[in-house]
Amino acid sequence: MKTKILIMLTIMITLFSANIFAKDVITKTSFKVNGNCDMCKSRIEKATKTKGVKSANWNEQTHILTIVYVPAKISADQIKQNIANAGYDTDKFKSTAEDYNKLPQCCQYERVN
């Protein structure tokens, strides 16, 4: 009897902690974000700074943004949308002409249609 209770308890604790763990699973992904310079870098990285995003690094040479995030809290699409709202085209969402035009002249990267 005592053993059965112990086994049940162990199973419950295991399931419980697995559940907590799942909520904190982090994913790393990379995708292209158009931009030019250092100022773009800080603007792009700032645009990703929301709940669920652990880190973001945009490479000025390759234009590749690498993000580490918690999928249970935010989707990659939502992050891409936030970047597009800041004026930068991603591989999935394009910025509106209005948001793009808000960028300083030097940051208005060449847009590819």
- Identity of the residue, 40 or 53, whose beta carbon is nearer to Cu ion in the bound complex: 40
Question: To the nearest whole angstrom, how small is the minimum distance from the Cβ of residue 52 to Cu ion?
Answer: 26
Phi-psi region of 52 (alpha: psi -120 to 50; beta: other; left: phi over 0): left
Does position 36 bind Cu ion by CB under 5 A? yes
Please choose, out of 34-42, 44-52, 53-61, 79-87, the segment that lies near Cu ion by the rule CB under 5 A: 34-42
Phi-psi region of 63 (alpha: psi -120 to 50; beta: other; left: phi over 0): left
* Close Cβ partners of 14 (under 8 Å, ≥ 6 residues apart): none
Provide the sign of the torsion angle of the four alpha carbons 44, 107, 30, 90, taken in this order: positive
Question: To the nearest whole angstrom, how small is the minimum distance from the Cβ of residue 38 to Cu ion?
Answer: 7
Does position 86 bind Cu ion by CB under 5 A? no
- Identity of the residue, 43 or 69, whose beta carbon is nearer to Cu ion in the bound complex: 43
Does position 40 bind Cu ion by CB under 5 A? yes
Distance CA 32, CA 64 (A): 5
What letter would DSSP give residue 90? B
User: Binding Cu ion by CB under 5 A: which of 7, 8, 39, 72?
Assistant: 39
Query: Which residues contribute to the site for Cu ion (CB under 5 A)?
Result: 36-37, 39-40, 107
